Amino acid sequence: MVCGQPGSTATTTMSNSPRLPPELERLIFIFALPSNTYEVPTNLLLVARRVQEWLVAFAFRVVVISKTFSVYKPSPGTRRLSVVSHLVRHLLISNVASDLVRQYIFLCPNVTHLAIWSGYHDQSVVEALGQLHLTHLSIDPCILDGIPSSIAGNLYKTVTHLDIAHALPILFNPALLLNFESLTHLALFAAFDLSALKFALDRCGNLEVLIWLSKAPRSTTAEGPQLQEKKPMTDPRVVSIQCGTIADWKAGARSGYDMWVLADDVVAGRVPQPGR
């Protein structure tokens, strides 16, 4: 309170409460979220509307749907997911029937990173995939066998990172890779015949990285992707990596560090950079 002479106007000076930059404030609240959950604590939701929007968007950016290892079960999770499905960017679907796979894909139109780890699916699933604008896809390529580009829609145009480590090597047709126009990164299971690896290196003109993938023992999956010294070919694009598939997928979705990032770092260290 500033007091003047008698008869003068008293002026009250009040300072504004300190405010952090919104970007830093958002990070603080995100770090406060419990890990591995889709539930946002009520005490955080009640702080402010902006905080609620930040936390809900972050919590549902990554969703795993499975009968065996997920908060969401194939049913009745659909109704609940529909409320926040527009927020989902990373979606993993495992051990789910074709009709539900298709339903989940249509529910989440903004997904860019998708993994479907299930058995056989019909053509309608591929048609649903074609409505998305995926950059990262993990799938059994047998689902795509014989599917023309007219059915696959955007699928063959936008995918840059393709993981087919879940395919049965004996059923894999390497020629399927040629359908992916933008393919720069490919992961093949180490049980595949070397002819598949060589086909990809020779015929996929934009290929920058090929991961020769082996599954890590369950006891080591928390350590993240591990570089293996032995690789099947001397091509500098080939990187041998051992990791746990589910753990690696979740880590990449949450933190951004996964087998793809590790492989990029390794290849960048091998290939001479322009101007050097």
Mean pLDDT by 10 residues, the chain (276 residues): 48 57 68 58 64 69 71 44 82 84 90 84 82 92 78 90 79 88 94 89 96 73 73 89 83 85 94 60
Does 127 reside within a domain? yes
Are 155 and 129 contained in the same domain? Answer: yes
Are 144 and 210 contained in the same domain? Answer: no
**Tally of domains within the chain:** 3
pLDDT score recorded for residue 227 = 86
Burial of 129 (C-beta count, 10 Å sphere; 0-12/13-18/19+): buried
Does 169 reside within a domain? no
Does 37 reside within a domain? yes
Are 100 and 150 contained in the same domain? Answer: yes
pLDDT score recorded for residue 29 = 59
Domain span at 217 = 190-270
d(CA 48, CA 34): 18
d(CA 173, CA 195): 11
Are 201 and 229 contained in the same domain? Answer: yes
Are 54 and 77 contained in the same domain? Answer: no
Are 65 and 54 contained in the same domain? Answer: no
Are 95 and 142 contained in the same domain? Answer: yes
Find the helix packing angle between 77-84 and 98-107, rounded to 10°: 20
Question: Residue 260, Cβ neighbours under 10 Å: how many?
Answer: 22
pLDDT score recorded for residue 110 = 94
Does 15 reside within a domain? no
d(CA 171, CA 269): 34
Does 17 reside within a domain? no
SS3 track for 212-248: EEEECCHHHHHHCCEECCCCCCCCCCEEEEEECHHHH
pLDDT score recorded for residue 10 = 46
- Among 40, 59, 78, the domain boundary falls at 59
Are 35 and 108 contained in the same domain? Answer: no
pLDDT score recorded for residue 237 = 95
